[in-house]
Amino acid sequence: MRTQVGIIGAGPSGLMLSQLLHLKGIDTVVLERHSRDYVLNRIRAGVLEHNFAEMMREARVGERMDREGEIHDGFDITYRGERHRIDLKGLTGHGVMVYGQTELTRDLYEGRDKLGGTVIHNAEDVRPHDITTDKPYLTYRIGDERHRVDCDFIVGCDGFHGVSRKSIPADKLRDFEIVYPIGWLGVLSRTPPVSHELIYVNSDRGFALCSMRSHVLSRYYVQCTSEDRVEDWSDDRFWAELKRRLPADAAGSIVTGPSIEKSIAPLRSFVAEPMRYGTLFLAGDAAHIVPPTGARGLNSAASDIHYLYRAMLDHYQNGDDAGLEGYSQKALARVWKGQRFSWWLTKLLHRFPDTNDFEQRMQLVELDYLFSSEAARKSLAENYVGLPF
Ligand code: APR
Ligand code: PHB
Of 32, 101, 282, best ligand 1 pocket probe by most atoms within 8 Å of the beta carbon = 32
Mean pLDDT of the chain: 97
Report the pLDDT value the prediction gives residue 35, as an integer from 0 to 100.
97
Q: What is the pLDDT of residues 201-246, one digit of tens each?
A: 999 999 999 999 989 999 999 999 999 999 999 999 999 999 999 9
CA 86 to chain centre: 21
Q: By alpha-carbon position, which residue is closest to atom 9 of ligand 2?
A: 45
CA–CA dist 227, 225 (Å, integer): 5
219 lines ligand 2 (CB under 6 A): yes
CA–CA dist 117, 318 (Å, integer): 24
**CB burial of residue 263 (10 Å; 0-12, 13-18, 19+):** middle
Tell me the one-letter amino acid at 220.
Y
Report the pLDDT value the prediction gives residue 46, as an integer from 0 to 100.
87
Distance 347 CA to ligand 2 centre (A): 16
Which of 13, 43, 37 has its CA nearest to residue 264? 43
Percent of the chain whose predicted confidence (pLDDT) is above 90: 97
Tell me the one-letter amino acid at 339.
Q
- In which band, very low, low, confident or very high, does the pLDDT at 43 lie, cut at 50, 70 and 90? confident
Q: Which atom of ligand 2 is nearest to the CA of 212?
A: 2
Average pLDDT of the residues in 55-81:
96
**Positive or negative: CA dihedral 37, 41, 42, 46:** positive
292 lines ligand 2 (CB under 6 A): yes
Q: Which atom of ligand 1 is nearest to the CA of 42?
A: 30
Q: By alpha-carbon position, which residue is closest to atom 29 of ligand 1?
A: 298
Report the pLDDT value the prediction gives residue 226, as an integer from 0 to 100.
94
**CATH numbers and ranges of domains, the chain:** 5-71+97-177+268-347 (3.50.50.60), 180-267+351-385 (3.30.9.10)
100 lines ligand 2 (CB under 6 A): no
211 lines ligand 2 (CB under 6 A): yes
295 lines ligand 2 (CB under 6 A): yes
Average pLDDT of the residues in 61-88:
96
Q: Is the pLDDT of residue 30 over 90?
A: yes
Report the pLDDT value the prediction gives residue 197, as an integer from 0 to 100.
97
Which of 220, 214, 206, 230 has its CA nearest to residue 254? 220
Q: Are strands 145-150 and 153-156 parallel, antiparallel or unpaired?
A: unpaired
Report the pLDDT value the prediction gives residue 224, as an integer from 0 to 100.
98
Report the pLDDT value the prediction gives residue 45, as an integer from 0 to 100.
83
- In which band, very low, low, confident or very high, does the pLDDT at 182 lie, cut at 50, 70 and 90? very high
Tell me if residue 268 falls in helix, strand or coil.
Answer: strand
Tell me the one-letter amino acid at 232.
D
Report the pLDDT value the prediction gives residue 120, as an integer from 0 to 100.
98
Q: By alpha-carbon position, which residue is closest to atom 1 of ligand 2?
A: 45
Q: Is the pLDDT of residue 44 over 90?
A: no
Distance 209 CA to ligand 2 centre (A): 8
- 3-state SS record for 108-177: HHHHHHHHCCEEECCCEEEEEECCCCCCCEEEEEECCEEEEEECCEEEECCCCCCCCHHHCCHHHCEEEE
Q: Is the pLDDT of residue 261 over 90?
A: yes
Which of 340, 331, 250 has its CA nearest to residue 286? 331
Of 49, 211, 213, best ligand 2 pocket probe by most atoms within 8 Å of the beta carbon = 211
Q: What is the pLDDT of residues 138-147, one digit of tens each?
A: 999 999 999 9
Q: Is the pLDDT of residue 361 over 90?
A: yes
CA–CA dist 318, 131 (Å, integer): 23
191 lines ligand 2 (CB under 6 A): no
Q: Is the pLDDT of residue 9 over 90?
A: yes
Report the pLDDT value the prediction gives residue 192, as an integer from 0 to 100.
98
Report the pLDDT value the prediction gives residue 231, as an integer from 0 to 100.
97
- In which band, very low, low, confident or very high, does the pLDDT at 42 lie, cut at 50, 70 and 90? confident
Q: What is the pLDDT of residues 283-338, one digit of tens each?
A: 999 999 999 999 999 999 999 999 999 999 999 999 999 999 999 999 999 999 99
Q: How far is CA 174 from CA 64, 95, 275, 288, 295, in A?
A: 40, 35, 10, 12, 25
291 lines ligand 2 (CB under 6 A): no
| DSSP letter, residue 30 | E
Residues 308 and 38: beta-carbon distance below 8 Å: no
Tell me the one-letter amino acid at 172.
K
Q: What is the pLDDT of residues 121-130, one digit of tens each?
A: 999 999 999 9
The CB-side HSE value for 353 (13 A sphere, CA atoms) comes to 9
Q: Which atom of ligand 1 is nearest to the CA of 160?
A: 21
CA–CA dist 57, 275 (Å, integer): 26
Task: Write out residues with Cβ below 6 Å of ligand 1.
Answer: 8-14, 31-34, 39, 44, 101, 123, 126, 157-159, 161-163, 284-285, 297-298, 301
Q: Which atom of ligand 1 is nearest to the CA of 31?
A: 2
Q: Are strands 259-273 and 288-289 parallel, antiparallel or unpaired?
A: antiparallel
